[in-house]
Chain A
């Protein structure tokens, strides 16, 4: 099959190390296909290593097995952050882990995109899906800013917008640890200066990003991923809203701190580069 031929040798070894229950057709019960996954990660590999030159810190905070939620900030007008986080967990994790993102609903209506997302385990962002996958001891990736986050303009870069609170109730209900992470660099790689609302309406997308060079194609800026220590919250998911909001705020603060750490790192590197220049 074509997907198999697109799979790189190193990717294949890591695929075999994944803890997904593939049947004899290489399909798992959620419809994830090993062949599609192989082609997907083979495509991500050069983007991760060469194009965005992603550096990942703190990957050891992600549990090597069992349920967990990785929670991050949206950075940039397209979910490049999600793709690079998936790549980091797969290529840097030991053992490799496949994370399930929670996809915006509109994508399911798009031909081609909808079955591809399904074959690589990126399901619609429904609470039913989240609970099912966590109870199945899978790794869930959530961006609580949602489309509000990817829809940020360049002038608001690295400001976290409102976090949804659904993820926290599900984390409590399923007793899943939360691993916060920050993705830094996406907003330089894909600076969004305007939203083309007409085009968004036409395609059913929540927004359509326009960059200074018009096309929504990310530039090859180096990016960094910072994973923080796992956070554990006590409860059953039936707490009152203010309690949940307090917990969510703690996660948001940790991510904000990780973003600051990442931006300081970038500034430091820039100064070294400038200082080193003749």
Chain B
């Protein structure tokens, strides 16, 4: 199968590329960012997915499948830019996929769209509405992109669409949302709270995405790895020192005193757990993680 990865230069996407190549697929990619030394046979088009040259990639390459990983978070991108990339970019990709004969489209989303709340259940299932934006405005564009991608299920019924909501990833690349939060030697936590954090080894995440392509998925799936662990243990096992801050001061102190920066809305995400049920995906694809929670934390720690 010829697979086009939008956002191929990201660290998780590079891992997906490796797994796809190993499985015998042909891989091409689109990204504004460079990938100076892609594996042999992988063409990377340095174009913007929303611009005309990207459409030409669809037209001339005629990919069979598209994996959409070109979404950005508040950690790297301003608000206006986020809406342009996450929403208009997602729209452009699905429209072009539909127009140019793509058979399968996979949108890579995040489990954080469910949102953290004191009265939310553990192990969220796919039928729960994403509530992340209620407390965390910086997530609104990603939640909207996730729902918009899901709308392709009825707008383009002939295009087999899968929306994957992945838990946090951890691993030797030290990239990703959770890696950013744990970046400093001292990790800011909220006094009196110790939520469960759910993550998977980044290689398992890449393998899960590549594996999704081998199955005729049409729907929304949570992708989870090993069991979640409390934040205190996550800090300890990754060699960090958790520094509990009183909740009212949390927003004022992050980004200072050597703590990593977090937007104000992230407070709920360090007070309450977001844990998803990945059993539907596991059942549909046979996916099981190869790295357990301890191995994922150690891979991140000793990278």
Contact = CB atoms under 8 A, between A and B. Distances in A.
A105 interface: yes
A86 B195 CA distance: 24
A111 B192 contact: yes
Interface stretch (A116-124, A185-193, A254-262): A116-124
A23 B230 CA distance: 13
Given A31-B228, A108-B272, A109-B118, A25 B294 contact: yes
A124 B230 contact: no
Contact of B119 (A110, A115, A124): A124
B233 interface: yes
A31 B118 contact: no
B247 interface: yes
Interface stretch (A44-52, A126-134, A172-180, A205-213): A126-134
Contacts, number: 64
B233 A128 contact: no
A115 B193 contact: yes
B137 to A, nearest CB: 21
Given A31-B196, A31-B273, A111-B191, A23 B121 contact: no
Interface of B: 118-119, 121-123, 125, 190-196, 227-230, 233, 247, 272-273, 292-294
A124 B273 CA distance: 12
Contacts of A24: 294
Given A23-B293, A105-B119, A126-B119, A111 B193 contact: yes
A25 B233 contact: yes
Interface string A4-31: 0000000000000000000111011111
A225 B227 CA distance: 36
Which 4 A-B residue pairings sit nearest by Cβ, starting from the closest? A111-B192, A108-B118, A128-B121, A115-B194
Contacts of B247: 111
A129 B193 CA distance: 20
A112 interface: yes
Q: Chain B at the A interface: mostly helix, strand, loop or mixed? A: loop
A124 B196 CA distance: 14
Interface residues of A, number: 25
A30 B273 CA distance: 11
A59 to B, nearest CB: 29
B121 A124 contact: yes
6 contacts: A25-B229, A27-B229, A30-B122, A31-B273, A124-B119, A132-B123
A88 to B, nearest CB: 26
A56 interface: no
A151 to B, nearest CB: 20
Given A111-B247, A126-B121, 9 more contacts: A25-B293, A33-B230, A111-B193, A115-B195, A118-B194, A118-B273, A124-B118, A124-B119, A128-B123
Nearest to B192: A111
Contacts of A42: none
Contacts of B119: 105, 108, 124, 126
Contact of A27 (B118, B195, B233): B233
A114 interface: yes
A179 B228 CA distance: 31
A118 B122 CA distance: 10
B230 A119 contact: yes
Nearest to A204: B118
Interface string A77-114: 00000000000000000000000000001001111101
Contacts of B272: 108, 114
Contacts of B191: 111
Interface centre among B123, B190, B193, B195 (most CB of A within 10 A): B193
A24 B247 CA distance: 31
B230 A31 contact: yes
B118 A105 contact: yes
A195 B293 CA distance: 46
A209 B196 CA distance: 32
